[in-house]
Amino acid sequence: MEQNNYAVFSGSKSRYLAEKICTSLGCPLGKMTIEHFADGEFAVWYEESIRGKDVFLVQSTYPSADNLMELLLMVDAAKRASAHYITAVIPYFGWARQDRKDKPRVSIGAKLIADMLSAAGITRLITMDLHADQIQGFFNVPVDHLYASALFLDYIHNNLPLQNLVIATPDVGGTKRANSYARHLGVPMVICHKSRIKANEVAEMRIIGDVKGKDVLLVDDIVDTAGTITKAADLMMEHGANSVRAIASHAVMSDPASMRLDQSRIMEMIFTDSIPYSQKCEKVKVLSCAAMIAESIKRVCSHESISSLYSF
């Protein structure tokens, strides 16, 4: 891959990850400026020529919406600067939980964001562990959907007691994801069934399966307020589990998530760095997805298969 044929740039909140990606690629991070004005408006411009280049723009769209607006302006500026291809690298795709009409008169936020990115001018999307796989179909451009399972499986094999391992899902919606881990590792799976009064508030939870004497690994894609996953862990321990650990791709970790995690019976919580986790919690371990994204960028540029990178 010729270095002068592509360039990697970053929004302000994903620079930490873009720098790691560039280290893996062996290239410098592209120079650009994001200027903020007194009224909260901001402007974006590139400090180097990107005419005819394949441009990769790294920015997760976790709150606030400024991150999304930055990305949209970056895409628009790249298009107007005559970039050849514009790939949005969005490790965490926000609004992904709004993927359908689950009640009358509600927006489908994930589709709206897809339309906005397409209208701005992206020619490809690289993202990781979407909350719902069907969101790929909201785009009319190629979508490379990466999976953090490659990172987590290495960690599981090297650090977890596999002989008594049980894979668990904190809610029924994650059954497919948990089943993939269970089948790959050759271990049993249990399910937590929950009911909610409203968003981010669990009313009732019960276990389907046996965890007595087992080391439980909870598998999820997003941890937001940590109410569901900590309640699931406490329930596992009450039903006789030896230990409970958890893995999740995206550390949204809205307050009071870190406090709940500290006070829960989860021994260890493993995230990727798709979102920066800056709070203090001794139970949290962060695995970097930068090398995986960098390899995907290489393969996009050289027109190689990306799916061959992953077990599932």
Give catalytic residue positions: 194
Rounded distance between C-alpha atoms, residue 298 and residue 291, angstroms: 10
Q: How many beta carbons lie within 10 A of that of residue 248, not counting itself?
A: 25
Rounded distance between C-alpha atoms, residue 296 and residue 312, angstroms: 15
Q: Which candidate, 255, 251, 252, 195, places its Cα nearest to that of 228?
A: 195
Half-sphere exposure of 250 (CA within 13 A, CB side): 25
Rounded distance between C-alpha atoms, residue 17 and residue 274, angstroms: 8
Helix (H, G, I), strand (E, B) or coil at 173: helix
Q: Which candidate, 141, 126, 58, places its Cα nearest to that of 296?
A: 126
CB-based contacts of 187: which residues, under 8 Å, 6+ apart? 162, 165, 166, 167
Task: For residue 282, give the amino acid letter.
Answer: E
DSSP secondary structure code for residue 149 in this structure: H
Helix (H, G, I), strand (E, B) or coil at 271: strand
CB-based contacts of 307: which residues, under 8 Å, 6+ apart? none
Rounded distance between C-alpha atoms, residue 110 and residue 293, angstroms: 22
Q: Quickly list DSSP for 177-235.
A: HHHHHHHHHT--EEEEEEEEEETTEEEEEEEES--TT-EEEEEEEEESSSHHHHHHHHH
